[in-house]
Structure 1
């Protein structure tokens, strides 16, 4: 595998890479939220060619029959009051086991950075699993000063989200 291309997701692409997203979930030990067919449908409906709830870059290996997805980067635009402008929040980046070490992840991040610049955005933010040392080593190559941010990530979901919402007056 020496050649691949990075392109923004288009109509039908999210359904095509749904198995890759499922592979990522399995890699992190996250159960599928719904069945595979419904998952593919929801990704397509919510994605760039649908409701636009997120954007996605896909790394494709060319093929005469059908291109093979090697990886993806799912992201959303976020407004940052601190600099009165937009940025990108990288929600998920994943490269197949077979494509790791072949610069696919770096190419996805490079294209994401170019997307930022093209749109006039000032930065890319993302989180990393503190125990995923391989991912952290990769991210340290891209953003070596990240730990100087002194930030923590928080999440409220499920019953805790319902409990928090019930405190509304």
Structure 2
């Protein structure tokens, strides 16, 4: 299957929204309202900077089939930027058909062209398919970091009141 990958543009809001809705179900989250997903997608894509896009989309035969959500972080202790892969999601009907690999190749090529030194990512410990996929790409598992999150009440409690 031929897979085309590109950075998302404002015209891709509906495709991105559809992927976000499917992704929520896959990651065992409550279903996302389609209108809410479309509104968020339009807002995010309107705010995208050409220098730092946030969503790569994969298409096969003109249909959306995968997405990568990323952020660029400046610099780490080694003075190299990194690309943080927040989510990589491929529609179930095209898993194991090269879509994920095409997305990762696109991101790796972007990193090399832009002088970005590495791709960091996380995945759930229960997601055996993702773990096998990243192992197959040659990803190293690092146990040096603990994943933490501030959200909800904790986020409110530490926020500066303006």
Which structure has the higher relative contact order (CA within 8 Å, separation 6+)? 2
Q: What's 1:153 paired with? A: 147
Distance 1:142 1:100 in 2: 15
Aligned length: 158
- The alpha-carbon deviation at position 20 of structure 1 amounts to 1.4
> How far apart in 2 are the matches of 1:144 and 1:112?
14
Residue of 89, 102, 105 corresponding to 2:100: 105
The runs of 5 or more residues in structure 1 that have no matched partner are none
Deviations 1:131-167 (A, max 9, x none): 11111111111234223x522111111112122337x
Equivalent-residue separation in structure 1 for 2:28 and 2:115 (angstroms): 36
Equivalent residues in 2 for 1:69-84, closer than 5 Å: 69-84=64-79
**Contact in 2 for aligned 1:73/1:94 (Cα 8 Å):** yes
**Over 4 Å off, 4+ runs:** none
Alignment of 1:1-169 (within 5 A): 2-32=1-31, 35-47=33-45, 50-52=46-48, 55-62=54-61, 67-147=62-142, 149-165=143-159
Tell me the secondary structure at the aligned position of residue 93 of structure 1: strand
Rounded to whole Å, the distance in 1 between the matches of 2:66 and 2:130 is 14
What stretches of structure 2 of length at least 5 have no aligned partner? none
TM-score by length of 2: 0.88
SS in 2 for 1:75: strand
